[in-house]
Every structure is written in structure tokens, then in C-alpha cells.
Amino acid sequence: MLTNGYGLVNNKKDTLPKVLITDYVHPVLPSTLEKHGFEVVYDETMNNDKLIFCIHEYTGLVINSKMTIDKTKIDLAVQLQWVARLGSGLEIIDLAYCNQKNIRVVNSPEGNCHAVAEHEIGMLLALCNNLLKADREVRNFIWDREGNRGTELRGKTLGIIGMGHTGSALAEKMSSWGLSVIYYDKYKERIPSGLRFVTKVGLEELQRRSDIISLHVPLTDETNQWIDKIFLQKCKDGVIISNTSRGQVCHTRDLIEALQSGKIYGACLDVFENEKPGTFTDSEKEMYRLLYSMQNVVLSPHIAGWTKESLYYISAFILQKLGYSK
């Protein structure tokens, strides 16, 4: 701490606006914020309970899915000017109240959309070609070619629900695979010009025609538990359900029932209703044990957008939207 020529305290760090980063990010994000005059507090141990006691200190927040920015926190955040959501899902932020308080909210779905699309294609290939089962068998000296005969994606109809950044990235990557690609999006009238081969249809037509239904929707009151028994009954027999959006979009017990009955051929799931196994109730343990035991599902722990490249691009898009050049 220094004094200037007038005897006043001059502590530059104390005068800097503060930004809190609550999750692991690419170094370009904190370094660029510091270059633009912010004091950056990088605390991956931050949780919702702790944030209540310190949110008043910050001008900006950089958060991931473990944090929620609700009315209580917003009222305490007397200096807050912006919230940056790493990735896409904005259901963790009270957007209306942020808007009312003139707090800017940005996210970065462009940063990991290609990672999610590639991951989903990998899951579909693993499911349709029995790759996980075959891998386990070979490691156990079992050589069963006929028992692992696969099915090709070529010639199938891919139905994409939600044609935002990730749905569009999936359609683009599937463009040369010989599939018929259709989509349903209640809120999107236009799609990128490069996706002219994709046909917009109504929801019932998508359910009736699709061999694969790929979900790319935000979690809202409208989509919560949307993929339930009624939805699945309207789908083509033998459909594959692929969900890399939000776990709560699917009613897990109804999905399991449809998998057991054969109504659904298989499922690719990167997201789940409860993604914290340590908090499972006895009922949830029983439900997930059943799901995990099924041979016709491919599962991953919410890592579809989790690549080395997306780590950088998520941060880069956040900085771009906030107006801070690297």
C-alpha cells in the first residue's frame, strides 16, 4: 500500500472492478480481462452458498452449470454489470430479472456446438455398430462377428429438434452421410443457407418419419419432461433417441420403459435428470442401475461439448460478446 504526494492511500488493485470466474476456463479469458483493467478472482471452489456472501464485490461473473443466478443473488449483486455463461444453457439465470436490473447476460453456444455434434455422431456410431459390446467381448477373448453385425446410418432419416447452433452443426456434419435430414423448431423460421438440404416439418411428421431423433433444445417450462410416454408413443417403432441438450428434457422412467419394450431401438445420452450420483435417492439408484445395465444405450457424463478446442472457443466467444479483444 502506497501514499501519493498528497498523503492519500493509492492502492490500484482496490480500485479495479472485480470479475469472479467460478469454473475452469482457457487462460485467454482471465488474461484478457486483466489486460482490460479487471481484477480477476479465479475460484473453482465457489458454490452457491459461498457466492451469496461475496457477490456484492463483483462487476462481472463467469459461471458454469453448477451456479445459479436467481433473484436473491441479483438483489445482493449491487455492482454487477454482466454475467457470462460458459456454454449455452441459460436456465440457471433469471434472465427477466437481470434485464430488469440492467445486468447484461451473454453465453457461448457457438464455442462448443461442433464438439457436441462430433460427440453425438460418435455415440450414434457406437450404438449402431455395437462398438462398446464388441470392444468388451474382444478384451475377454470372445470373437463374435455375427452377434455384432451393425446397421448403417446411410439411408436413415435424422430428425433434429432444435435448429440452433448445435442442431445446425450436426446437420452440417451429416450432410454427406446419405441421410434424409428433417427438423422441427417452433421458434426458428430460417436456418443457415448452407443447410438447404434440411427440410422443416411439423412435430408429428418428425415423430412419424425419424429413425433417429436428436434433441437440441434449452430447458424451459415447455421442454421440461417433454420426451415422455405420450411423445414416444407417437414416434416410429425402433427409433433412436439422442439427447445432448438437458437431462430434464427426457422423462427417464418413460424412456427406460420404451427401451425395455422395444419401442425405442436405443438411446444415446450425454445428459441426465440427476447428474450428481452422490445425491441419488434410493429410487434414483434403482432407476439408473437399470438404465446403466442396458446394452442398447450409450452413455457419457455430460462431456459432449468438453474438448480442448471448445475450452478455447467458449472463452473466445465470451470475450467477443463482452467487447474485450484478445
**DSSP per-residue string spanning 55-81:** GGG-SEEEE-TT--B-HHHHHH-TT--
Distance of CA 10 to the CA centre of its chain: 44
Distance CA 256, CA 242 (A): 13
Q: Which helix (H) or strand (E) holds 161?
A: strand 157-161
Establish whether domains 2-107 and 111-299 are of one fold: yes
Distance CA 238, CA 210 (A): 10
β-pair partners for 269: 243, 299
- Residue 243: per-residue pLDDT: 98
Look up the pTM and report it: 0.90
Q: From the candidates 275, 286, 289, 309, which is the catalytic residue?
A: 275
- Residue 121: per-residue pLDDT: 98
Give the start-to-end residue ranges of the domains of the chain. Answer: 2-107, 111-299
Q: From the candidates 119, 165, 209, 246, which is the catalytic residue?
A: 246
- Residue 193: per-residue pLDDT: 85
Distance CA 209, CA 202 (A): 11
Fold (topology level) of 2-107: Rossmann fold (3.40.50)
Angle, vertex CA 160, rays to CA 155 and CA 165, nearest 5: 125
CA–CA distances in Å: residue 166 to residues 112, 162, 266: 8, 8, 21
193 in helix, strand or coil?
A: helix
- For residues 315, 83, 221, 211, the Cα torsion angle rounded to the nearest 10 degrees is -10
| Torsion sign across C-alpha atoms 106, 107, 111, 117 | negative
Contact present, 21 and 29 (Cβ < 8 Å): yes
Distance of CA 266 to the CA centre of its chain: 21
- Residue 11: per-residue pLDDT: 45
- Residue 180: per-residue pLDDT: 97
Known active-site residue 275: yes
Q: From the candidates 104, 208, 253, 302, which is the catalytic residue?
A: 302
Exposed, middle or buried: residue 244 (CB in 10 Å: 0-12, 13-18, 19+)? Answer: buried
Task: List the chain pLDDT tens, one digit each, 326 residues.
Answer: 333 332 333 344 568 999 999 999 999 999 999 999 999 999 999 999 999 999 999 999 999 989 999 999 999 999 999 999 999 889 999 999 999 999 999 999 999 999 999 999 999 999 999 999 999 999 999 999 999 999 999 999 999 999 999 999 999 999 999 999 999 999 988 888 889 899 999 999 999 999 999 999 999 999 999 999 999 999 999 999 999 999 999 999 999 999 999 999 999 999 999 999 999 999 999 999 999 999 999 999 999 999 999 999 999 999 999 999 87
174 in helix, strand or coil?
A: coil
C-alpha cell at 153: 446410418
Distance CA 2, CA 252 (A): 61
Known active-site residue 246: yes
CATH code of 111-299, in short, is: 3.40.50.720
